[in-house]
């Protein structure tokens, strides 16, 4: 769970190609996966690390996904989630989840991330 959150953070912090076609995933299923793997670091709504609620700070900032996701392509997001932050030149604090996520799982998470709204 924490690894996916970290990976999403790295995804958002890195440079990527903005804009993409509509996601081909199921946002409802992606939310379930996100809640299981990403919520710990990225928050329930993608808002990033809740510094005031955590005992230990992560070694890198965890971004607000609601601000970063719209600037990234689906493929960039999938790469970060699947292969980790280092795959796009970012920190290894965002781990790779590709070892146990299918391509559909990845697309579902991206669809959920795209459904998040900035406040």
User: For residue 52, what pLDDT is reported?
Assistant: 65
Boundaries of every domain in the chain: 2-115
pLDDT at 59: 73
**CA dist., res. 94 & res. 78, Å (int):** 13
Are the C-beta atoms of 98 and 83 separated by less than 8 Å? yes
Sign of the Cα torsion 108, 45, 20, 101 reads: negative
- Torsion sign, CA atoms 31, 32, 37, 41: positive
Whether residue 1 has pLDDT greater than 90: no
Burial of residue 83, with CB atoms counted within 10 A of its CB: 0-12 exposed, 13-18 middle, 19 or more buried: middle
Q: Which residue, 97, 108, 60, 81, is CA-closest to 16?
A: 81
Computed over every residue of the chain, the mean pLDDT equals 81
* Beta carbons of 93 and 61 less than 8 angstroms apart: no
Q: Provide the pLDDT confidence category of residue 55 given band limits of 50, 70 and 90.
A: low
- Asked if pLDDT for residue 10 goes beyond 80, the answer is no
If you average pLDDT over residues 27-53, what whole number do you get?
87
* pTM (2 d.p.): 0.75
Decide if domain 2-115 falls under CATH 1.10.760.
yes
Structure confidence by residue, pLDDT tens digits, 84-93? 999 998 888 8
Please give the residue that has the higher pLDDT: either 30 or 44: 30
Given a cut of 80, whether residue 9 has pLDDT beyond it is no
Q: How confident is the model at residue 11 (pLDDT cuts 50, 70, 90)?
A: very low
- 43-80: b or e for each residue (b if 16 or more CB lie within 10 Å)? beebbbbeeeeeeeebebebbbbbebbbebebebbbbb
Residue with structure tokens 């970060």? 80
């Amino acid at each position: 769970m924490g690894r996916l959150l970290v990976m999403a953070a790295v995804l958002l912090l890195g440079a990527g190609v903005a804009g993409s076609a509509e996601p081909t995933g199921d946002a409802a299923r992606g939310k379930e996966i996100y809640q299981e793997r990403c919520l710990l670091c990225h928050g329930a709504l993608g808002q990033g690390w809740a510094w005031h609620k955590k005992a230990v700070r992560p070694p890198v900032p965890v971004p607000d996904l609601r601000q970063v996701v719209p600037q990234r392509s689906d493929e960039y997001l999938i790469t970060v989630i699947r292969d980790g932050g280092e795959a796009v030149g970012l920190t290894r604090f965002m781990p790779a989840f590709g070892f146990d996520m299918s391509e559909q799982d990845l697309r579902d998470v991206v669809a959920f991330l795209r459904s998040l709204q900035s406040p």
